[in-house]
Amino acid sequence: MLALAAQATTVACASGFFVIESAGITQNAEANAKYKDVFEALDSFVKQYMREMNSPGMTLVLANRDGILRAASYGFSDLERGLNVKPEQLFHIGSISKSFTAIALLQLREEGKLDLHQPVVEYLPWLTPAVYDGYVGEYEIAPSFSITITKENNKLMAQATGQPKLELLPESQTKFFVKEAAVQIEFVVEGTGKATSLVLYQGGRQLPAKKIK
């Protein structure tokens, strides 16, 4: 069981695109005694690191397969008002998701469900650039506004009238998104694999566009 320090509340909880961490210090009594010197050295390192990185606040959780060993919050969530990092403080997960993905892939490899040396299209066939050939063309949303889809160096590109060209990144075989804006494009495909139209999702609207070229 976890021994909770006076200022501690909940332990770490990951959800969606955010991570909610504990406040104060939550620690395993046995681990605290065993790693007391390590934890003190870690706190000193974190303090130095935050100073060098000009970081106002953070939460650090140490865990193993048995659960939380220690969770500690450092610094401030609001420098101007001097507010400490609290349990409800939200942190963008950012590049941590890459670590989660890597661990999941290695677990699948250990289970014999994934060969890391195989081309990715063996598992995600819709990533095959040849599929993009059926999407190339011009799609009209309005008489004076259209989206031109091209394939360049095995990448699918989209360019709306009067706007810069953007790369379309796949969510599935027919649905794509762009990194630069909250925009999605879904192709309507016939049996031959060629798109006859597309739907532009933006700002809560769904704008159909018929393929004209």
Rg (CA), the chain: 25
- Joined tokens for residue 179: 């990194």
Tell me whether residue 191 is in a domain: yes
Could you give the 3-state DSSP secondary structure of residue 34?
helix
Q: What pLDDT is stored for residue 79 in this prediction?
A: 81
Q: Kindly give the confidence (pLDDT) of every residue in the chain, 213 residues in length, as a single tens digit, with 9 standing for 90 and above.
A: 333 332 333 333 332 222 333 434 455 677 777 888 888 888 889 888 888 888 888 888 888 887 778 888 888 888 888 888 876 677 777 778 888 889 999 999 999 999 999 888 788 877 788 889 999 999 999 999 999 999 998 899 999 999 999 999 988 889 999 988 889 999 999 888 899 999 999 888 899 999 998
Tell me whether residue 117 is in a domain: no
Last residue of a domain, one of 89, 110, 131: 110
Tell me whether residue 115 is in a domain: no
Tell me whether residue 116 is in a domain: no
Query: 190 lies in which domain range?
Result: 122-211
Q: How many domains does the chain fold into? A: 2
Note whether 84 and 24 are same-domain residues: yes
Q: Are 114 and 106 in contact (CB under 8 A)?
A: no
The residues with which 99 forms a beta bridge, in sequence order, are none
Q: What pLDDT is stored for residue 51 in this prediction?
A: 87
Q: What pLDDT is stored for residue 195 in this prediction?
A: 94
CATH value at residue 140? 2.40.128.50
- Joined tokens for residue 124: 């995600």
What sign does the dihedral 77-90-45-6 (CA atoms) show? positive
Note whether 79 and 159 are same-domain residues: no
